[in-house]
Structure 1
Amino acid sequence: MKLKEIDQTVYKKKQRKVAVILCLIFAVLGLGLSTLLRHYFGNPEEANTMVNLVGVLAGAAITIGVFSRFVGRPYYDELRYAWNLKRQALKIQNHRHRWELLLEEGDKTAAIVLAFYYKATLQIQHLEGNDFGYNDTLKRETKFLALCQQQGVEADPDLYSIDMLEAVKAQ
């Protein structure tokens, strides 16, 4: 995965629009299906919690199905990119302590993976307007770059490949 520049304004606008539309679809389907199921299968003298739950779950499943049919369209490119970037950053985050230990030993792959992690995290925090997290990550990245310089390893996030994560899984 390669880092790309995307416009924060466009990203936020699309993210909000998609969230509102999905919420509306889910609300209409969940309430509508619950009402229909209660009408046909409900019992007026007893609680219809299970019938309502089935309606809501069916509404959620249909909403997810509808969204999955549209998410591949070019309109969603920024949202898909950010989603995939978050997933990659989380995969690295889950084993960051191992990567940091490898970096202290002078491992070049660890430097590349961590460089990608910091750039990806900074980009996500910028896109989502997380200024506190952004400043904190920026400080950690500065320490990381100093360590890379001390170890004499190049920290180029453009060299990152998903395959590099297998190195830590094998340990």
Structure 2
Amino acid sequence: MQLTDINKDTYRSHLNVIIVSAIAFFATVGVGISSLLVFYFGSAAGDNFFLNLLGVSIGGAIAAVCLHRLKSSEYFYEVAYVWDLKHELNLINRRLSTLKRAANDNNIDAIIILLYNYHGSRQLWQLDDNVLNLQELELELIQLEDKIRQLGLKLEPNQYQRNLLIKF
């Protein structure tokens, strides 16, 4: 996955619309299906917990399928990009300690992965207004870029490919 600049305001407004729409859709469909199941198959005694649970589960599944299909639409571009970026960074963060040790040993692939991780994390934190750890991240990025210069390398975050993680 390549890092791409996206508009923060567009991302935030689209994310808010998508969240509200998804919740409204899920609630409407879940309650609607639950009501239909209780109406047709429910008992008069009022013990319809499993029918309600089934209806809400079906509603959630329908909402998830709709979100998955809409993910490739133009409106979802920024939100889908951030979802994918979070997923990619999560895969990297699971191996972070190993990657840092390998980068200290001048492993080029580990350095590329860390460079991508730092740039991607900075972008993500700025988009989500999560600036608490940004100074620490910037320091680590400066140290990594200094190491890259010392090694005489020309590396870019977009040289990252997921298959580089296989080695770690």
* 2:92 pairs with 1:107: no
1-structure distance, mates of 2:135, 2:35 = 48
> Cα distance, 1:151 vs. partner?
5.5
2-structure distance, mates of 1:76, 1:133 = 28
Q: Secondary structure of the equivalent of 1:106?
A: coil
2-structure distance, mates of 1:77, 1:158 = 19
> Cα distance, 1:155 vs. partner?
4.5
Alignment of 1:69-108 (within 5 A): 69-108=69-108
Over 3 Å counting, the alpha-carbon distance change for 1:55 and 1:159 in structure 2 is same
User: Which residue is 2:145 aligned to?
Assistant: 145
1-structure distance, mates of 2:141, 2:64 = 37
Asked if the contact 1:30–1:59 (Cα under 8 Å) also holds between the matched residues in 2, the reply is yes
Query: How many residues are aligned here?
Result: 168
User: Does 10-19 or 66-75 show the bigger shift?
Assistant: 66-75
Taking structure 1 as the reference length, the TM-score comes to 0.89
User: Which residue is 1:20 aligned to?
Assistant: 20
Give per-residue Cα distances to partners, 1:37-79, cap 9 Å, x unaligned: 1111111214211111001001111111222222211221111
1-structure distance, mates of 2:81, 2:138 = 21
User: Which residue is 2:158 aligned to?
Assistant: 158
User: Which residue is 1:43 aligned to?
Assistant: 43
> Cα distance, 1:118 vs. partner?
0.3
Give per-residue Cα distances to partners, 1:67-113, cap 9 Å, x unaligned: 22222112211112111111111111100111111111111111111
- Unaligned stretches of 5+ residues in structure 1: none
1-structure distance, mates of 2:64, 2:25 = 10
Give per-residue Cα distances to partners, 1:101-141, cap 9 Å, x unaligned: 11111111111110000000111111111111333322332
Query: Residue 130 of structure 2 aligns to which amino acid in structure 1?
Result: N
Query: Residue 53 of structure 1 aligns to which amino acid in structure 2?
Result: L
2-structure distance, mates of 1:65, 1:2 = 26
Identity %: 26
Q: Secondary structure of the equivalent of 2:133?
A: helix
2-structure distance, mates of 1:21, 1:126 = 24
User: Does 61-70 or 32-41 show the bigger shift?
Assistant: 61-70
CA RMSD of aligned residues (A): 1.8
Query: Residue 119 of structure 1 aligns to which amino acid in structure 2?
Result: H
1-structure distance, mates of 2:151, 2:99 = 14
Asked if the contact 1:115–1:156 (Cα under 8 Å) also holds between the matched residues in 2, the reply is yes
